[in-house]
């Protein structure tokens, strides 16, 4: 029997449009609930055995990360039947899960606690990131800084809403470009050399905190750009939509937009506008 995929495709399109048109608030509620039940009760309350190193002292996972991702996986797939989840902790356990980014099913890309290091140390600079994508295109995203109760929702082609109000980016008040960059522990020698290009007159680079909050800072006009050297989709998908929906852009040193499916030539930048993007990527290429 030949499977008729046309009907399935049409049904998925209808379900995706339903989420984007009428159920954005339900996704937001699911994100808030996961944070309220699994993350915030453990903030500044973690026991030593609830924090584990994954790939080194700067790459941590906690019971909050795992429980929140499980919570979101159940709630998000229920909201959009036929969808799948690519979550940071699930991919760590089974790297093949990331292959869903190349498939036809709609994908929820989840980072339950972005900025786990900050979370572990009692710093409020962490957030929960969720993005909805299909075939490499980011359709919507939710960035929730639970400790600050700050929620940014972006929808492709419709802009960004921050705490219920349309987000209009403020103009930069700094003379120098403010750029958040990858932590040295997560860069190759070639990438370190590229990032050194930002150490020049008129640019003020600094190590990044939570990637999701750095992207939000660009959208709000508090930061000019990021320059990152890793490509995990869960760290970038939500924020890249925030940046593009507030007039910015992103590009790799190969001159191509960053692809959430991977295979990028790194490092890359996301910036508040085209001129800033071109300046930052030019400095990265110069090295």
Q: Could you list the pLDDT tens digit for every one of the 287 residues in the chain?
A: 344 456 788 899 999 999 999 999 999 999 999 999 999 999 999 888 888 877 665 677 899 999 999 999 999 999 999 999 999 999 999 999 999 999 999 999 999 999 999 999 999 999 999 999 999 999 999 999 999 999 999 999 999 999 999 998 877 767 899 999 998 777 889 999 999 999 999 999 999 999 999 999 999 999 999 999 999 999 999 999 999 999 999 999 999 999 999 999 999 999 999 999 999 999 999 87
CB atoms within 10 A of CB 101: 20
CB atoms within 10 A of CB 143: 29
Q: Give dist(CA 20, CA 8) in Å, integer.
A: 18
Angle between helix 5-22 and helix 24-34 axes, rounded to 10 deg: 80
Instruction: Enumerate residues 6+ apart whose C-beta is below 8 A from 206.
Output: 178, 179, 180, 181
């Amino acid at each position: 029997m030949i499977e008729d995929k046309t009907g399935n495709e049409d049904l998925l399109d209808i379900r995706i449009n339903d989420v984007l048109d009428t159920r954005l608030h339900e996704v937001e509620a699911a994100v808030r609930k996961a944070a309220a039940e699994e993350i915030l009760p453990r903030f500044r309350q973690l026991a030593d055995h609830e924090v584990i190193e994954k790939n080194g002292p700067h790459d941590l996972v906690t019971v909050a990360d795992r429980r929140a991702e499980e919570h979101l996986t159940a709630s998000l797939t229920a909201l959009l039947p036929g969808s799948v989840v690519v979550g940071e902790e699930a991919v760590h356990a089974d790297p093949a899960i990331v292959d869903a980014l190349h498939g036809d099913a709609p994908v929820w890309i989840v980072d339950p606690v972005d900025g786990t290091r900050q979370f572990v140390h009692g710093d409020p600079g962490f957030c929960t990131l969720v993005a909805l994508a299909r075939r490499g295109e980011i359709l919507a995203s939710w960035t929730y800084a639970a400790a600050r109760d700050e929620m940014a929702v972006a929808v492709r082609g419709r802009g960004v809403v921050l705490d219920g109000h349309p987000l209009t980016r403020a103009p930069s008040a700094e003379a120098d470009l403010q750029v958040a960059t990858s932590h040295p522990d997560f860069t190759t020698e070639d990438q370190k050399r590229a990032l050194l290009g930002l150490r020049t007159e008129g640019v003020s680079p600094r190590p990044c905190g939570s990637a999701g909050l750095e992207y939000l800072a660009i959208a709000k006009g508090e930061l000019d750009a990021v320059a990152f050297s890793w490509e995990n989709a869960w760290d970038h998908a939500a924020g890249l939509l925030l940046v593009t929906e507030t007039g910015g852009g992103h590009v790799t040193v190969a001159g191509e937009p960053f692809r959430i499916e991977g295979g990028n030539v790194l490092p890359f930048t996301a910036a508040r506008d085209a001129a800033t993007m071109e300046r930052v990527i030019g400095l990265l290429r110069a090295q």
